[in-house]
Amino acid sequence: MLKLLDGPQTLGRGRIFWSCFLAVLAGALIYPLFADSYDVGNFAYFLIWIFMALGLCLMWGYGGMLSFGQTFFFGIAGYGYGVLAINMGGGTATIAALVLSVVIAMIAAGILGYFMIWGGISGIFFGIVTLSATLVLAFFLGQTAGPEWHIGSARLNGFNGMKGMDPLTVGSFDIEGSALYYVMIALIVIVYIALRMLVNSSVGNVIVATRENPQRAEMLGYDVRKYQLLTFVIGSGLAGLSGALYTSWGQFITPSSIGLPAAAMPIVWVAFSGRNDLTATLVGSFLLLFGFQTITVYSQQAALVLMGVLLLATVMLAPQGFVLGIGKLVVDWWSRRRRRNESPALADAGRLQSDET
């Protein structure tokens, strides 16, 4: 099982990488002891979006399916959590609401994905069909202002959004502040490790083979549509997880977190970071969210203009992504320096050893 952590589909392997990983994790774990609770809440907020980015990275970078519909599933699960949490009452039922809302998003992804993938839609059309669905959902929710729009006792409230649901709660303990932060960290570690294992497993290899050449993968005997649907459902489910966590974090959700320009954000994060690698996406998305939040305080429009500039600059200058590119440069420089210091044979031996562990 653990062998799958390092493999051909993920960058970063061996003792150095995992030491860094553990160091960052340890830093993240002790962070709330030093920072004030406002900053911890802010960090938890950035971490919410990471799932969505990792899901898009899986679909786009590994599966070759450019989905513009991450916020569609974000919205379905976000509103789903709100409706369920309000109707089932607070308390431990919110955990069930979280799980159920993610399941609902995955079912929606299964249905939409079935029609698109079995219909043979790919490439550009995959993007614009998912984006159309996203925009229609945002328009629909935007006009549900009247009292006649309600599900159970949950009012949809149109453009102002739904509010009044309980945050995640176990018994009588609200998961907020640093507790929520730790839940996020745990979930991110689990999702990151699980995705690494997935893409390095035989299923992951088929997913990547489908990206490279669907016909060839099909000739080798795989029903590529099933693998694509699986990728789409997992990736969209992760967007759903982000949505449900978002609603529970702020106890509100509005249609503007679904429509434009929100729908473009996951694309910017993943494109800028480097869609072909989970680690690059994780690091890059976090940095972008951090920067975005810092600028948004002054002007949201300016922050969004910057996001547009980053997207344009990425495709024009570094189509594989900036974080991935810089990461590769650093690794190259590092290994060149090591090669200069040690004898080449020893360096190779070290690499072989770390592959085995």
Partner 1 sequence: MSAELFSVFYQFADVFAFLILSAAGLAIVFGMMGVINMAHGEFIMCGAYVTVGLVNLGVPLPIAQILAALTAGIIGMIVELLIVRRFYKRPLDSLLATWGLSLIVTQSMLLIVGSAVRGIGTPEGSFAIGGYTFSTYRLVLFFCAVAVLAGLYIIFMKTRFGVIARATMQNAAMAKALGARTGRIYSISFGIGTALAGLCGALYAPTMTLIPTMGATFVVESFVTVVIGGANVLLGTAPAAVFLAMIRMALNASYGQIIGQIGMLFAVILIIRVLPEGLSSVLVRRGR
Contacts to partner 1 by CB under 8 A: 66, 112, 114-116, 118-121, 123-125, 127-129, 131-133, 135-136, 139-140, 143, 259-261, 264, 267-268, 271, 299, 301-302, 304-305, 307-316, 319
As measured in angstroms, the least distance from the Cβ of 236 to partner 1 is 15
From CA 142, how far away is CA 73, in angstroms rounded?
Answer: 16
Separation between Cα atoms, residue 191 and residue 208, nearest integer Å: 19
Q: How many residues does the chain have?
A: 357
Closest CB to partner 1 among residues 124, 345 = 124
* In the complex, least distance from residue 314 CB atom to partner 1, rounded to whole angstroms: 8
CB of 303 to partner 1, least distance (A): 8
Residue 49 in tokens: 């979006």
Nearer residue to partner 1 within complex by CB, 139 or 290: 139
The minimum distance between CB 250 and partner 1, in angstroms, equals 23
What does the alpha-carbon distance between residue 283 and residue 294 come to, in Å, rounded to a whole number?
17
Q: Do residues 94 and 168 make contact, with C-beta atoms less than 8 angstroms apart?
A: yes
* DSSP letter for each residue of 271-322: HHH-TT-HHHHHHHHHHHHHHHHHHHTT-HHHHHHHHHHHHHHHHHH-TT-H
Q: Are 113 and 233 in contact (CB under 8 A)?
A: yes
**Residue 157 vs 200, nearer CB to partner 1:** 157
Beta carbon nearer to partner 1, 136 or 346 = 136
Q: Which is nearer to partner 1, 297 or 316 (CB)?
A: 316
Largest CA distance in the chain: 75
Q: How far is the CB of 138 from partner 1 (least distance, A)?
A: 9
H-run or E-run covering 34: helix 14-34
Minimum distance from residue 117 beta carbon to partner 1 (Å): 10
Decide whether 200 or 236 has the Cβ nearer to partner 1.
236
Torsions phi, psi of 4, nearest 5? -70, -15
Do 232 and 117 touch, CB atoms closer than 8 A?
yes
Of 5 and 318, CB closest to partner 1: 318
Using alpha carbons, list the distances in angstroms from residue 173 to 45, 61, 179, 278.
20, 39, 10, 33
Min. distance of Cβ 235 from partner 1 in angstroms?
Answer: 16
For the bound state, the minimum distance from the C-beta of residue 158 to partner 1, rounded and expressed in Å, comes to 11
- Residue placing its CB nearer to partner 1 in the complex, 1 or 317: 317
Closest of 1, 45, 47 to residue 25, by C-alpha? 47
